[in-house]
Chain A
Amino acid sequence: MQTPAPTDYVRATSVANAIALLEEHGEEARILAGGHSLLPMMKLRIARPEMLIDINDLDELRGIRVEGDELVLGAMVTHREVLESPILSEHYAIFREAEKVIADPLVRNRGTVGGSMCQADPSEDLSAVGSALHGTVVIRNSSGTRTVPLREFHEGPYETKVGPAEMLTEVRFPIRPGSGSAYEKVERRVGDWAVCSAGVFVTVKDGVVADCGIGLTAVSAEHFCAPAAEAFLIGKAPSEENLRAAAKMAGDASDPSSDQRGPADYKKHLAEELTFRALTRAASASQGA
């Protein structure tokens, strides 16, 4: 069994304290939330922080609630809480559909929304969900907070706009009455990273797509989304022909690499196919709603 390199450990007593500790220890400190992204990397000795700042005591970072016309998730909300949340499932089916295919039940007990977002794996399913829904994150530092749209959050693989002495504290999603949503994932086996996933919402009004969001992961779509495909679909009827055309554009927005999960053209094909299937179900749900 692989073991981490030596490190130090402290428990934050508040978000402010966590930020202060980050400032004190600098680049060699890492936030420890669920630990299911960080600890595996430490065990491989790819990550070698010298100080771990454990934020598991910070109840202020927990909880799922409605605030005005937004859904608000604290950074420490676990994947399991997202999966089982009646608040979230009431508004969007995509949360449960995505979480059901993220990792496994045991990992979902510990892994957090904030942790997954900040890990920013290029195959992260929640990144596709977040981009599809045009979510935002709240980032806090010692001067205050700012909000960053998820479609601007990623700077590259494993790199986000969260700076060295900053913490992500919340993820927020607009509530869209009358919308339908869906998530489609192809994986080689349960618990694996996606070969490709597509997550969408569609709001159909008066027989026409009034709004939609298309999120993609694992296929190097810029900011995990397909805005051209979305723009194409808005204002059009959700017919099979239009959904297929939008799906093709989603495929075009992907730039996957070949690896053991499959060749690039297969993944591109999946981006198209899964977007089509997700759009079909989401549009149907919106019209049934």
Chain B
Amino acid sequence: MQVTMNVNGESITRDVEPRKLLVHFIREDVELRGTHWGCDTSNCGACTLWVDGEAVKSCTVLAAQADGHDVRTVEGMETAAGLDPVQQGFIECHGLQCGFCTPGMMMTARWLLDHNPHPSEEEIREAISGQICRCTGYKNIVEAIQWAADHPATSEVNA
């Protein structure tokens, strides 16, 4: 079947099997490999991206379900104005080590801040509770998100 979706602002049309998972579609058919996968049972959240503005686990969505919808991935976070404050926050606060869970964490962080611009530490921890990191122990991820909340403008971003 053919699917058409808007990915990071660009209309994409591809032929897929109905069973194709959205995470595989994005990585292989759209060749955006910043979205990762790390488990088989919808537990790890490395595959997190946005569908229609909601953070979802793309390993548990079919590409067919996203047909006609809006998809945003980590590749769409940086704009001409620079890195998203979330991205900058992760750099500032050492919120990543191996980088594998990072795109998913950042997509959830941006979604959280869009709905709750000044979250408490507890709210941040709860927002990322569906995602696993094996490197950071989460403390610096929380601080990175707090940094982004405290620095909403990107005027002082380093390239």
* B55 proximity list for chain A (CB < 8 A): 105-106, 109
Within 8 A of A (CB), among B80-124: 108
A-B contact count (CB 8 A): 87
Q: Are A52 and B18 in contact (CB under 8 A)?
A: yes
Which B residues are in CB contact (< 8 Å) with A66? none
In the bound complex, residues from chain A placing their C-beta under 8 Å from that of B65 are 32, 35, 54, 56
| Residues of chain A in range 62-91 having any CB-CB distance to chain B below 8 Å | none
Closest to A36 in B: B60
Which single member of B1, B37, B41, B45 contacts A106 (CB below 8 Å)? B45
In the complex, which residues of chain A have a beta carbon less than 8 angstroms from the beta carbon of B37?
A: 1
Interface residues on A, range: 20 to 34
The reply to whether the CB of B17 lies closer than 8 angstroms to some CB of chain A is yes
Partner of B19, one of A6, A44, A107: A6
Q: Contact at B60–A35, with CB atoms within 8 Å?
A: yes
B17 touches A110 (CB 8 A): no
Q: Is A39 an interface residue (CB 8 A)?
A: yes
In the complex formed, the residue of A with least CB distance to B69 is A56
Say yes or no: A103 contacts B130, CB within 8 Å: yes
Residues of B within 8 A of A36 (CB): 42, 57, 60
- Residues of A with C-beta under 8 A to B130: 103-107, 191
Whether A259 is near chain B, meaning CB under 8 Å from some CB there, is no
Cβ of A4 < 8 Å from any Cβ of B?
A: yes
13 A-B pairs in the complex with CB atoms less than 8 angstroms apart: A3-B24, A5-B19, A6-B17, A6-B19, A32-B62, A39-B62, A52-B62, A54-B64, A56-B65, A106-B56, A107-B57, A190-B129, A191-B130
Q: Is A205 an interface residue (CB 8 A)?
A: no
In the bound complex, CA of A104 to CA of B89 (Å): 24
A232 lies within 8 A of chain B by Cβ: no
C-alpha gap A39/B37 in the complex (Å): 15
User: Contacts of B61 on A, CB cut-off 8 Å?
Assistant: 35, 39, 110
Mask for A2-33, Cβ within 8 A of B = 1, else 0?
11111111000000000000000000000010
Q: Give min CB distance, A9 to chain B, whole Å.
A: 4
Where the two chains meet, the residues of A that have a C-beta atom closer than 8 Å to any C-beta of B are 1-9, 32, 35-36, 39-40, 42-44, 52, 54, 56, 103-107, 109-110, 190-191
- What is the CA–CA distance of A109 and B129 in the complex, to the nearest angstrom? 13
Cβ-defined contact, A43 with B40, below 8 A = yes
Residue of B nearest to A51 (CB): B18
Q: Are A191 and B21 in contact (CB under 8 A)?
A: no
The reply on B54 being an interface residue by CB < 8 A is yes
Contact residues in B for A8 (Cβ distance below 8 Å):
18
Chain B's closest residue to A10 (CB) is B18
Does B15 have its Cβ within 8 Å of any Cβ on chain A?
Answer: no
Would you call B60 and A40 a contact (CB within 8 A)?
yes
Query: How many Å from the CB of B104 to the closest CB on chain A?
Result: 9
Q: Which of A35, A103, A191 makes the CB contact (< 8 A) with B62?
A: A35
Q: Which residues of A contact B146 (CB under 8 A)?
A: none
Instruction: Give the distance to chain B from A44, nearest Cβ to Cβ, in Å.
Output: 7
Check if A191 sits within 8 Å of B40, measured CB to CB. no
* B56–A110 touching, CB < 8 Å: yes
Known A7-B19, A40-B42, A52-B18; further 6 A-B contacts with Cβ < 8 A: A1-B37, A4-B21, A54-B64, A105-B108, A105-B130, A106-B57
For residue A111, which residue of chain B has the nearest CB?
A: B60
**Of B60, B64, B131, which is within 8 A of A110 by CB?**
B60
